[in-house]
Structures are given as C-alpha cells and as structure tokens.
Chain A
Amino acid sequence: MNTDQSLSGEANRPRGLITRRGALALFILPLAGMVTPPAKARPLRIVCLDDGLAETLLTLGVTPVAVADRGVWEKWVVEPALPPEVADIGTILEPNLEFLQQLRPDVILSIPYLDGIKPLLERVAPVTTIGIYTPDGQPYQRAIEATRQLAALVGRESEGVALIAATEACFSDVRQQLAPLSARPVYVVNFLDPRNVRVYGEKSLFQAVFDRIGIRNAWTGETNYWGFATVGIDGLATSDDARLAYLEPLPEGATGTLTESPVWNAMPFVRNRSIMRLPAVLMFGMLPSASRFARLLTAALMAENARG
C-alpha cells in the first residue's frame, strides 16, 4: 500500500491549504490567551473529564488543571498538544476523588455519560455537564453552543467567537479547494482488527464536517448516537467509486494482515488505489477536532489526487 505519503509532514501541509486568514486565526488562538491574562485575579482551576471539552479549552487558551486518562491524548487527540503540567486524575469512569479534591478545582467539566458519578464529583466542586454526543445526533451544533458556553465560563467570549469563526472559515476554504474532488464519496473508518471497522456516519462529528465541506459520506447506514456503526470491511463494498480514509491509531497487528486478504484486495477502493491514511483525530471531539479532520482530509485528498 502506498498510502504513507500522507503521514509525513502533516503538521505543515494544512497551512498551505486554507487561506491565510483562516490559518492565522487557528494558529494564533492558543497563543492569544498566554499573551494577555484575563482581568480576573486568579484563573479558574478547571478539571476536565472529556477530551473534546479539553481540546476546546486549550484552543481558547485555557489550560485545565487535570484531565482524565491523559495517556490517551497523544495517541488519540494529538492536537492541540497537552501541556506537561496538566495532571492525570485516573480513568474517566473512576477519577481519583481524593486527588481531585487536593487539586482544589473551581469547576469540573463532565459529560452526560458520566452522570453516574456526578453526585461524587459535586462534593468536590460544582459540576458543569455539557453533552455533545446525545441521542438527537447534532454534535456540531452542540459543539458550537458548548464552545460559547465554555468561552463564557472562562471569560474568553471573544476567543470563543474567533474559534467558531475560524472553524467555519476553515470549512469554506476547504470546500472551495475540494470542489473538484467532491464527486466521489468517502468512507471514514477506524480499524478494530483486520476484519472489522467502525465506520462514521450520521450523528458523527465527521458527518457534520462532510456536509460543510461538500464531500459525500459513502456510509449512509444507521449509526449509534456516538456516530459510528461497527461493520465487517466487506460492508464497505456498496459504493463502487468510494474512497476510504482510515484513521490512526491502528490496532496491533492490523497493518500486515490487511494486504494479504483477497476480500480487502477486491474492495473497489483498493483496486482504484483510493485509500488514505489519516493521522489520529478525536472522533468524539468538538470544533478543534472538526477543523483538524477537515484539514487532514483535504491534505490526504489532494495528495491522493496528485498521485492520480
């Protein structure tokens, strides 16, 4: 498989792909907070239990005191980088409550998935629960509202407005660039093992990005409210001209065995050599993940197109 080109230099390529205005807005955002501290005497001490909320905070220029499962970040979220001083408070389902209390947070950010431990968290600090992935399946709309809510919480309303604007700007730039490539639909998957994938469809953040950058999602089937369906790879044969974009990280042992499978080799996108390997993007993320996905997908599509 000659799909590894898309890997190299992924951090640099997107900058050239969108207009200067959008790019600048995105890249300056995290710096903005560091330069001018807010008027408050002491910044809010925030503990964030969800990586989507944490990436938004970081992009707004606020560093949380602690996150859950911080070891996962480098593998699944990647960008924005998590500063080293952010503490790890243990697993998402069982954060260390003693430790949490000793961190003296002012507010704990949680998601509805963790409502079971909310009474415990409330003994430490007020809990703000923000739901992005809910049964109504509108993660992008909810992410925008949540961004405003978070920005208001940390007193960075203007940064929040800028983040939303930058995300929208990123989409419209990408949309123009990708217009010549929009005829063929794309599957976005994570490999579970060499035989099975999670394919992202309606109710996913990626679907919202697709809709805004003018690309058709090749997966039109149902998904759960986290936005994915679990299928065997032969389930991806329904579209003849689809491309496949698969996200890192790959499970151990999936890479080698894939190329040997005759079913895999007979898949339309394998025969057309329309396979793209994307660096990790948080699939349960918010606006930063959405624009990261748009940029990475654009880079991969352009590279694939250049290959012919």
Chain B
Amino acid sequence: MAEQQAILSNDASPVRVRTSPHRIADRYPVGAILLCLVLACAAGAATLSNMSVQLPPALWPAAITNPDIEDMRQVLVHYAFLPRLAVSLLCGAALGLAGTVLQQVLRNPLASPETVGVSAGAYLALALATLLAPSLLAFGREWVALAGAFTALSAVLALSWHKGLSPLSVVLAGLVVSLYAGAIGAALVVLRHEWLASLFIWGAGSLGQQDWSTTLWLLPRLGGAALLIGLMVRPLTLLGLDDEGARSLGVPLGAYRFAGLAAAVALIAFVVAAVGVIGFVGLAAATLARIGGARRLGQQLLTAPLIGAALLWAADQAVQVATGPQGDLLPTGAMTALLGAPLLLWLLPRLALGAEAPALTVEHLPRSARPGLVLAAIAGLLLLLFGLALLYAPGPDGWAFPSGDQLQPLLSWRLPRVFAALAAGAMLALAGLMMQRLTGNPMASPEVLGISAGAALGMMVALFALNDAGRPVQTVAATIGAFAALLVTLAIGRRAAYAPERLLLAGVALTALFDALILVLTATGDPRAMLLLNWLTGSTHGVDAGSALLTGTIAFALFLAAPLFMRWLDMLPLGAVAVQNLGINLGAARLLVLLMVAALTAASTLVVGPLTFIGLMAPHLARRLGLSRALPQAIGAVLAGALIMVCADWIGRTAIFPRQIPAGLVATLIGGPVLMWLLRRR
C-alpha cells in the first residue's frame, strides 16, 4: 500500500511537466477547475432558488436536520429535494469517472457510457426483467443491470475487434448495439400495449427521489468501484501507452484492461439501475476534463467526476427551474442527452482520431470461383420464399394454402406488404454496401448516417405539431426530415472532403439527439407517442398497393443508376490516396455515393421504419458467400436483403397470429446474432 501511494504521487508522464515547470496552467487543470466552479456556482444559485420556492429559508435548518413530519414542505425538502440533489451529484461523478476510465482503457476519445452501448444494455436488461421476469429483480437490480451492461460491452468489443478496437469502430458498434437494445425495448412496449408505460419515465433518466434509500444504495457500490479504480491509477496510465511500451514495463495488460473495464461498467450499471439512462454526462465530463487541461490520468480521474457531478447537478436544477419541483415529467437524463448531442457535433472537428486503415481489402475471405452460380442460388431461394410468404399463412382454421375465391382477397393484403418488404430490403442492402465500401468500415450502415433519424424526426413533428396528420402528410414530413438530416451531415462533412469518419460520427450524434427527443416525448405519456413507437419498430402493416408500387418504382429507378457507381465502389476501399492516383475526384465521388445512399435509405425508411439491420448485414452475407468484387457483391447483397426482409415480414405476420411483429423488428432480432456470426473473429 505504501509503495502504491508512492507510485500514485509520482508523475506518470514526467516529460510533459519538465518542458514548462514554472507555469501553473501546465501543471494543474486550471480550465477544468474553473469550469467546475462556474457550473457549481450556477447550480448552487439554482438550487437555492428552487429550495426557497418550496420552503422559506428560515425553516431550512430544521428541514435539513430534523424535519417536522407534520409539515409537508419540510418533508418534501428533506426526503425529495435533498436526496435528489445527492443522487444527481453521485451519478454525475460516477458517469464522469466511468467515461474517463473507458476512454483510457479503450484508448478512445469518444468512449463513454452511452457511446459504447453499456447504458443501453443495462437498461434493456432491467426493462426485460421488469416486464417478463420480475422475480429476477428480487436478487438485486444491480446484478440484472450488470449482466446487461457486460453483454452489451462484449457485443461491442466483439463487433469492433477485427478493427483493432479503433475509436470509430467501437463507437459505431456501440451505436448498433444501442439501436438494437432500443428496438427490443420499443417492441416490448408496442406488443404489450398497456396504457401505463412507467418504463418510459424511469428509462429516460428521472432523478426524482422520495427518500434516501437510493442515495444509500448507491454510495457503497459507487464507492467500491471508485476505490478499485483509485488503486489502479498507475497500470491504467500505462494502458494509455502503446502495447509494446506497456508490455516492456512488465505490466500484465490484459488483466488490468479487464479490471478497468469491469470497474467502469459496474459504475454505469449501478447508475442505470438506480435512475435509468443519463445521456452524455460521461462523455462530456471526460472530454471537458481533458480540454480543460487535465493531462495526466490522475488529474483526469479527479476532475472528470467533479465536472460530471457539477454538470448533472446544474442540469437537474435547471430542469427543476423549468418545471417546478415536479421535474419528473422532463426527465433529466433525456435532457442531458439533448444537450450532449450538439456537444458531440462540436467536438468532432477538434478530435484527432487518426485515419482508419482500409479494411475490406485485407480480409482473407474465400472468393467464389463462380459468382454467377451463387447469385442464381440466392435468387432461387428468394423466389421460393416470395411464393411461400404470399400463399402460406395461418388463418382462422390454422395454417393453409388458400384456394379459389379466398386467394384474391388475401393476395390484395399480402402482395403489397411482401413486395414493399422486398423492395425496402433490397434498397437498404444496396445502401449498406455503398456505405461500407465508402467508409471502409464494416459497421457502417444506412441508419448510422442519421438519415433514418431525420425521417423519424420529421414524422414526430408531423404527429405532434399538426392536428390529424394523415399518412400522406406523415410521408412528406418524413422525407423532408430525411433530407434535412442529410444536409446537416453533408455540411459537417464538407470541410473534410466527406471523410468517412466525420460523416459517421455526425450520424451517431444525430441519432443520439433523436433518441433523446423520443424519450422526452414518450415520458410525457402522450398516446401519440405510441403511434410514433409503432412506426419506429418498422412495420409493413400500413402498406397499400399504391405505396408498394411507388416504393417499387423508386427502387427500380435507383437500381438502374447503381451500375454507374460500381467502379468507384471497387476503388474507394483502396484508400483516399489510391483513389486520387487513379484520377478520380474523391470529393465528388463520395458526395454522389452519399446522395445515392440517402435516396435509397429515405425511400425504404418510409415503408419499413428507420431501423433494420438489413443494410448492415446483407453486404457481409454476400461477402461471406464469396462475392468480393463490387458488382457481384452488390447483386448478392440486394438479393439477400430482399430475401431476409421478405422472410422477416412472413415470420412477423405468422409467428403469433393474429397478432403481428413488425418486419423491421423481426429483421433486427434475426440480424443481431447473424451479424455477430458474420463478423466473428477471423
């Protein structure tokens, strides 16, 4: 222990300090401390103002030390206001600490509880346990949350492993896992259809308290995890070096990496189990600590929790100023996420992420000698399933092939749905293939670009701002939203010649912003939020012949244009330098590919909702089958995407007849595990 103390007091990076020994600003994180003070002052002032609304200052001492149980105002201050204050400080500090450790261990300036999917995993585990197996919660919420958090983290690490856990791939995998968890959560709510969905309030990060039990529950757990991290400052510092350097110093990297991750994930799981998902405080605190001058890990581990605590304290008091003491209706966690997404957008140009090595070219997957045969096989399978999906389904008398005069009315329902599912799956697959070849990142998919989120935002505005928005109005609004999101993404990417990293991260930020908005809206309990959730799960239920035909026409037109892109798509994965040497205008090529992706995504999103894993999965499936050049892979992906979507729609219509599971959700549920298998370590 004494030795440990001595090490802790040592400067872990002496070089940097020696260069300017006399300047205080270089030795201490002055900026971060100042920021902390400013935030604390603002939060303190808001706190005093909020408290004086509830209780005259003369009664404060009594209310704090020994409240008069007959006086409701004193009870509320002692058992509601003060514990809420304490919980906001504790959770903010825990998230700041967890964010810093995650960033250090993963060597990733974008890592945070939300961006690596840990919060979403913990939340989903708790939601599943609450709805399906409440008895599990009796063992302790923290164990359920921990299990979910670790599952999510394992999935994220597995998905980004072959990219060497690069910052971008980890964040993308985190987003994919978060979306996956969110889809399952939405499905639970939609399929159960109950008028009371309390999950929303808690899930959106409500800090409301009614006694000190949450505070007392959090204290030892957070304290234990923080202590563990405190004991590991030196090994964690070394983890920030490159592997060879650290290994030469005799550090067992793997063990410390795991211990650090475990401590951070535990912190996050405890916070989620106590108050739900608090968006972006971890990312903001860790980043602001570094920007504020905390260079050494020791300093960061001290300042980030302080900033996190001050941030969440200020945010929570601001929410209470806005809503009165009943802040639950504007969940603080969702509000911080709303503020955090713009912060992420602002940060993007300021982070040195390093360019990604092109990945698709170095994969050593088998190449099929006869791609034509493979394609014909998929096409045959597609035809078979298309027929089955149209003809074979349960009715009032069980599974049957309809005959005679039954056929016509049944087909009038099934044909548009199956056809729309087919077209949407095919378009999403092509969009995914283009995204993955453009960015050289196997985790890139159309929904990551933020276009789907934009479409959903448009839909949300139509539902809530306009009275009685019918389907045509919703479609127009969603289209406008999709293109607005595309414009934002392009504006952010323009300065970097549409560099893939910037585009993907802008998409991540937009998606996060949208998720936060959804949470705020659903927490109000407005029945219209159910309509939105229903659409979000990606159902083909509402497709009629007209919209199916329209979708098919758009798909056909876009597929006609697709061959023009194939040469670029063969070249782009070779890297920027190679492409420019071949005489291709890189910026123009990227822009055109992006516009094509946007058109494909928008057209399919309108039919099957914003969330499917087809775009992510189908190109990998095609590649696994040995289709490596752009054109055969594209055809294979399109066929596979159509196949999966038709299959998903069929399963969704028949599995729990007469109820239905939205096709987008079925595709997601199938797609998650399949994707893990496709991207398994090679």
Contact between A192 and B76, CB atoms less than 8 A apart: no
**Identity of the chain B residue whose Cβ is nearest the Cβ of A76 in the assembled complex:** B195
Q: Is A190 an interface residue (CB 8 A)?
A: yes
Interface size on A, residues (CB 8 A): 57
Contact B395 A98, beta carbon cutoff 8 Å:
yes
| Distance (whole angstroms) from the CB of B192 to the closest CB of chain A | 9
A91 touching B395 in the complex, CB below 8 Å, given contacts A76-B195, A98-B413: no
What is the CA–CA distance of A253 and B72 in the complex, to the nearest angstrom? 25
Query: Within 8 Å CB of A230, what residues of B?
Result: 201, 328-329, 524-525
Chain B binder among A24-32, A54-62, A153-161, A261-269: A261-269
Instruction: Tell me the bound Cα distance from A98 to B190 in angstroms.
Output: 20
| Contact A192-B195, Cβ < 8 Å, known A119-B544, A237-B76 | no
Please encode chain A, from 255 to 289, with 1 for each CB lying within 8 Å of some chain B CB and 0 for all others. 00000111110111000000000000001100000
Q: Decide yes or no whether A226 CB sits under 8 A from chain B.
A: yes
- B20: Cβ under 8 A from any A Cβ: no
Q: Which residues of A contact B (CB under 8 A)?
A: 69, 72, 76, 87-94, 96-99, 101-103, 112-113, 115-117, 119-120, 123, 190-196, 198, 224, 226, 228, 230-235, 237, 251-253, 260-264, 266-268, 283-284
Q: Which of B624-682 contact A (CB under 8 A)?
A: 653, 657-660, 662
User: Which residues of B lie under 8 Å from residue A97 when comparing CB positions?
Assistant: 413, 541
The residues in B between 504 and 559 inclusive whose CB is less than 8 angstroms from any CB of A are 524-527, 530-531, 534, 539, 541-542, 544
- Name the segment of B85-93, B206-214, B591-599 touching the other chain: B206-214
**Residue ID in chain B nearest A93 by CB atoms:** B534
The residues in B between 293 and 330 inclusive whose CB is less than 8 angstroms from any CB of A are: 325-326, 328-329
Known: A193-B201, A234-B80. A115 touches B470 (CB 8 A): yes
How far in angstroms is the closest Cβ of chain A from B87? Answer: 12
Q: Is the CB of B525 within 8 A of A198?
A: yes
A93 touches B659 (CB 8 A): no
Known pairs A94-B660, A101-B409, A252-B134; A234 contacts B211 (CB<8 A) = no
**Residue pair B75, A91 in contact (C-beta under 8 Å):** no
Contacts of B470 in A (CB 8 A): 115-116
Residues in B with CB closer than 8 Å to A117 are: 541-542
The complex places the Cα of A120 from the Cα of B471 at a distance, in Å, of 11
Evaluate whether A263 and B75 lie within 8 angstroms (CB atoms) in the complex, with A89-B658, A96-B660, A115-B470 already known: yes
| Residues on B with beta carbons closer than 8 Å to the beta carbon of A233 | 210
- In the complex, the answer to whether A263 meets B525 with C-beta atoms within 8 Å is no
Q: Which residue of chain B lies nearest to A267 when distances are taken between CB atoms in the complex?
A: B72
Determine if B620 is an interface residue (Cβ-Cβ < 8 Å): no
Q: What B residues does A261 contact at CB under 8 A?
A: 79, 210-211
CA separation between A115 and B542, bound complex, in Å? 12
Check if B191 is an interface residue, CB within 8 A of chain A.
yes
Interface string of B181-210 (1 = CB under 8 A from A): 000000000110111101001100010111
Which residues does chain B contribute within 8 Å of A120, judged by CB atoms? 541-542, 544
Q: How far is the CA of A251 from the CA of B326 in the complex (A)?
A: 21
A91–B190 contact, CB under 8 A? Answer: yes
Report how far A216 CA is from B211 CA in the complex, Å.
Answer: 31
CB neighbours of A93 from chain B (8 A): 190, 193, 530-531, 534
Task: Name which residue of chain A comes closest to B75, CB basis.
Answer: A266
Q: How far is the CB of B623 from the nearest CB of chain A, in Å?
A: 35
B534 touches A193 (CB 8 A): no
Contact A119 B471 (CB under 8 A): yes
**Contacting pair B395 A96 (CB below 8 A):** no
